[in-house]
Chains A and B, each alone.
Chain A
Amino acid sequence: MTSTATTIQHAAPPYSGPRAFVQRLRHGDEIAHLLTLTFAAGILLITSMLVWELWANSHLSRAKFGWTFFWTQTWDPIFDNFGAAPFIYGTLITSIVALVIAVPLGLASAIFLSELAPRKISDAISFLIDLLAAVPSVIYGLLGIFVVVPLVRSWLGPLLINTLGHLPGIGKLFAGPNYGVGFFTAGIVLAIMVVPFIISVSREVLLTVPREQREAALALGATRWESTWKVVVPWARTGIMGSIFLALARALGETMAVTMVIGNDPKISASLLRPGYTIAAVIANEFTEATGDLYLSALIELGLVLFLMTFILNGLARILIVATERGGGRPS
């Protein structure tokens, strides 16, 4: 961005005054510069206005609860006592479950499609995957209600309780009762929703890895898999990370599909099979009927918290990408 801008300034004729401006406008470069600058500034403006609106409108709630808002577990619109803890917990847990399922699945599919499958099949499947990414979330919610929820209630849930549930420590994650709706089901539905993003972006990135890299590895006596896993994937690591964080961002903010399968109960429970609630879901559910000023303000503060979470996680993602780049991968 900066280098482009300086180039343009160097390229512009060294006139000054209004005549020079008109002169410069005749060259398309200056117009393109101004136009793109305006739009780029627009994005910044929208973001800062968004934060400002959330900050200003959550004033009542911030003044009353302060920092306790983050760890209070009550959400009581009648007695005006609000805390974000169960919602933050639910948002994080469902997103983590989604990534734990979606990352191996998505990465393996992407490697197969880019490295092993014939190009024609790869292109056909990629087209279908891109279609999946465009399916509205309410459809995934219906899929959750009619397929995933009954599956978890009558088959997957009891299976997990009877196997992993007996293990010390990890067993706490899979304790009953199991209603079919809860963190785990929401995580599965989210995984189904975000996996197309991971596959689609990762495949594109893997395809950009230069042919010479593969050939060099093979020439050194590596097997096909060794060349893929030790050379191609590390080369594409930054892009793959990007796809995972794109998936995470979608999982954090998903509303409709989650609220349909999570049980909507603002409680913190160790068991993944218990019902919970997420920030986006509670805002969507309660905003229209929220009449009290403090109630409304608390809902808006939840929006601020979600924004903050996305911000922090994106920051962590940047740090992670920089850190992993040092350990090899594509030179940039």
Chain B
Amino acid sequence: MKKTWFVVSILLAVAITVAAHPGTVLLNAAGATFPYPIYSKWFDVYHQKDPNIQINYQSIGSGGGIRQLLAGTVDFGASDGPMSDDQLKDAKFKILHFPTVLGAVIPIYNVAGVTGELNFTQKALAGIYLGTITKWNDPEIAKANSGVSLPATDIVVVHRADGSGTSYIWTDFLSKVSSDWKSKVGMGTSVQWPVGLGGKGNEGVSGLVKQTPGSIGYVELIYAIQNNITFGKVQNASGKFLKADLVGVTAAAAAAAKDMPSDFRVSITNEPGPAAYPISSFTWLLVPAQISDATKRDAIKGFLKWMLTDGQGYNEGLAYARLPKGVIEKEIKAISLIQ
């Protein structure tokens, strides 16, 4: 009995010390799942660097992140898509967007007799997902893949079933390259898909594609790299067929950096430039412009600065593309807007 009390009091003492450690700043954040691996790495490294700052991040999804931020239950949010004008107008306080890393989305497929990389024109991808291109040997696909014998089988379209930033980037791209897509379907984290099956998560989509003959789907570049999945090349705005890699994604962002709007809410799909991979996007941290608690404010500003400089060094290790220099410079200036 005595021993139990001893253990309990020790535990209590430890809990109290941890909770009330003087000078510890605890920041709560929530949002996007796509950048979660790099965010948790950053928050962990930053905590080791400055033990007084601890950041809790819950990857509950971009929509949830935005809602929590608007409700004031987190100190900052994270989202794969920028907040819309309406959302910003409805918010009770001003919200700043800070791009953190870049992600890309790539097409994967399972076609009988095809083992290599297929080329997809912009029209082909839009047509397939609209349901107007239904056979693998359609001229729009065949003309970009001379030398590959494409079967006359039906195309089975696979998309994400859960709302996700991946779908946001994919539909953003399709909206830019096809006016039909823009008017009939639109862009968003979930849309009304004209055709196809839904898989849950990257693993759900790639699982369905792997299992279903004649299927095509889309997943995050990181997921394909980590799982050694063969994926297709996509035609960019200059007409070149590019296989997505981290360099191409950063190139797309650099092209966008030249006329970056001051609030960083920008889409970088289908950017001009021969080296720019067309289906990529920033992901953002959403930070209130006014933070009344000075210690929290300094902690967030300090973290943002570190993230934009030293933090970017961790990106490639986790297969995220770095932010281009031009964007980083603009963001560092924007940190001073937090007051």
Q: Which residues of A contact B (CB under 8 A)?
A: 74-79, 145, 149-150, 153, 177, 179-181, 259-260, 263-266, 275, 277, 281, 284-291
**Are A265 and B163 in contact (CB-based, < 8 A)?**
no
Closest to A81 in B: B192
Cβ < 8 Å to A, chain B residues 79-129: 84, 87
Tell me the complex Cα distance, A265–B158, Å.
Answer: 10
Q: Which of A74, A149, A265, A285 contacts B193 (CB 8 A)?
A: A265
Q: Contact size class for B?
A: 20 to 34
Interface string of B200-222 (1 = CB under 8 A from A): 10001001100110000000000
Tell me the complex Cα distance, A259–B197, Å.
Answer: 11
**Are B200 and A260 in contact (CB-based, < 8 A)?**
yes
Known contacts A77-B192, A145-B207, A265-B198: does B154 contact A289 (CB below 8 Å)? Answer: no
Interface-side segment among B57-65, B258-266, B275-283: B57-65
Q: Which residues of A lie under 8 Å from residue B163 when comparing CB positions?
A: 77, 285-290
Shortest Cβ-Cβ A-B pairs, 8 listed: A289-B163, A264-B198, A288-B61, A264-B161, A78-B186, A76-B192, A289-B63, A289-B189
Q: Does B191 contact A (CB under 8 A)?
A: yes
Q: Which residues of B lie under 8 Å from residue A74 when comparing CB positions?
A: 192
Q: Which of B62, B161, B192, B211 contacts A180 (CB 8 A)?
A: B211
Tell me the complex Cα distance, A177–B63, Å.
Answer: 35
Q: Which of B66, B185, B198, B204 contacts A291 (CB 8 A)?
A: B66
Closest to A141 in B: B200
Closest to B163 in A: A289
Q: Does B162 contact A (CB under 8 A)?
A: yes
Q: Other CB < 8 Å A-B pairs besides A180-B211, A290-B63, 16 of them?
A: A76-B191, A76-B192, A77-B163, A78-B186, A79-B192, A153-B211, A181-B197, A181-B208, A259-B200, A264-B161, A265-B198, A266-B192, A277-B198, A287-B63, A289-B61, A290-B163
Q: Which residues of B lie under 8 Å from residue A284 when comparing CB positions?
A: 162
Tell me the complex Cα distance, A264–B200, Å.
Answer: 9
Tell me the complex Cα distance, A78–B196, Å.
Answer: 18
What's the nearest-Cβ distance from chain A to residue B24, in Å? 30
Q: Which residues of A lie under 8 Å from residue B164 when comparing CB positions?
A: 289
Closest to B167 in A: A289
**Are A77 and B188 in contact (CB-based, < 8 A)?**
yes
Q: Does B156 contact A (CB under 8 A)?
A: yes
Tell me the complex Cα distance, A285–B160, Å.
Answer: 9
**Are A286 and B211 in contact (CB-based, < 8 A)?**
no
Known contacts A153-B211, A179-B197: does B192 contact A75 (CB below 8 Å)? Answer: yes
**Are B211 and A149 in contact (CB-based, < 8 A)?**
yes
Known contacts A286-B163, A291-B66: does B191 contact A180 (CB below 8 Å)? Answer: no
Interface string of B157-171 (1 = CB under 8 A from A): 000011110000000
Known contacts A259-B161, A260-B200, A264-B198: does B192 contact A78 (CB below 8 Å)? Answer: yes
Q: Which residues of A lie under 8 Å from residue B191 when comparing CB positions?
A: 76-78
Tell me the complex Cα distance, A288–B61, Å.
Answer: 5
Q: Which residues of A lie under 8 Å from residue B61 when comparing CB positions?
A: 288-289
Closest to A74 in B: B192
Tell me the complex Cα distance, A53–B25, Å.
Answer: 35
**Are B212 and A179 in contact (CB-based, < 8 A)?**
yes
Q: Which residues of A lie under 8 Å from residue B38 when comparing CB positions?
A: none
Tell me the complex Cα distance, A177–B157, Å.
Answer: 13
Tell me the complex Cα distance, A275–B196, Å.
Answer: 9
Q: Which of A79, A264, A277, A291 contacts B189 (CB 8 A)?
A: A291
What's the nearest-Cβ distance from chain B to residue A299, in Å? 10
Q: Which residues of B lie under 8 Å from residue A153 when comparing CB positions?
A: 211-212
Tell me the complex Cα distance, A179–B213, Å.
Answer: 9
Q: Which residues of B lie under 8 Å from residue A277 when comparing CB positions?
A: 198
Closest to B33 in A: A288
Q: Which residues of B lie under 8 Å from residue A78 when comparing CB positions?
A: 185-188, 191-192
Tell me the complex Cα distance, A149–B163, Å.
Answer: 23
Closest to A264 in B: B198
What's the nearest-Cβ distance from chain A to residue B46, in Å? 26
Q: Which residues of A lie under 8 Å from residue B187 when comparing CB positions?
A: 78
Tell me the complex Cα distance, A78–B163, Å.
Answer: 12
**Are B211 and A177 in contact (CB-based, < 8 A)?**
no
Q: Does B137 contact A (CB under 8 A)?
A: no
**Are A264 and B199 in contact (CB-based, < 8 A)?**
yes
Q: Does B54 contact A (CB under 8 A)?
A: no
Q: Which residues of B lie under 8 Å from residue A259 when comparing CB positions?
A: 161, 200
**Are B199 and A289 in contact (CB-based, < 8 A)?**
no
What's the nearest-Cβ distance from chain B to residue A330, in Å? 45
Q: Which residues of A lie under 8 Å from residue B208 when comparing CB positions?
A: 181
Tell me the complex Cα distance, A276–B199, Å.
Answer: 12
**Are A286 and B197 in contact (CB-based, < 8 A)?**
no
Closest to A290 in B: B63
Q: Which residues of B lie under 8 Å from residue A180 when comparing CB positions?
A: 211-212
Cβ < 8 Å to A, chain B residues 122-141: none
Q: Which residues of B lie under 8 Å from residue A265 when comparing CB positions?
A: 193, 196-198
Closest to B197 in A: A263
Tell me the complex Cα distance, A75–B204, Å.
Answer: 21
Q: Does B190 contact A (CB under 8 A)?
A: yes
What's the nearest-Cβ distance from chain A to residue B155, in Å? 11
Q: Which residues of A lie under 8 Å from residue B161 when comparing CB positions?
A: 259, 264, 281, 285
Closest to A293 in B: B90
Q: Which of A177, A263, A285, A288 contacts B154 (CB 8 A)?
A: A177
What's the nearest-Cβ distance from chain A to residue B63, in Å? 4
Q: Which residues of A lie under 8 Å from residue B207 when comparing CB positions?
A: 145
Tell me the complex Cα distance, A277–B200, Å.
Answer: 12
Q: Which residues of B lie under 8 Å from residue A77 when comparing CB positions?
A: 163, 188-192
Tell me the complex Cα distance, A285–B163, Å.
Answer: 6
Closest to A182 in B: B197
Tell me the complex Cα distance, A285–B66, Å.
Answer: 17
Cβ < 8 Å to A, chain B residues 39-68: 60-64, 66-67
Q: Which residues of A lie under 8 Å from residue B66 when comparing CB positions?
A: 291
Tell me the complex Cα distance, A78–B84, Å.
Answer: 13
Q: Can you list 7 A-B contacts with CB-CB less than 8 angstroms, sorted by A residue number? A: A79-B186, A181-B208, A275-B197, A285-B190, A286-B163, A287-B63, A287-B163
Tell me the complex Cα distance, A286–B199, Å.
Answer: 12
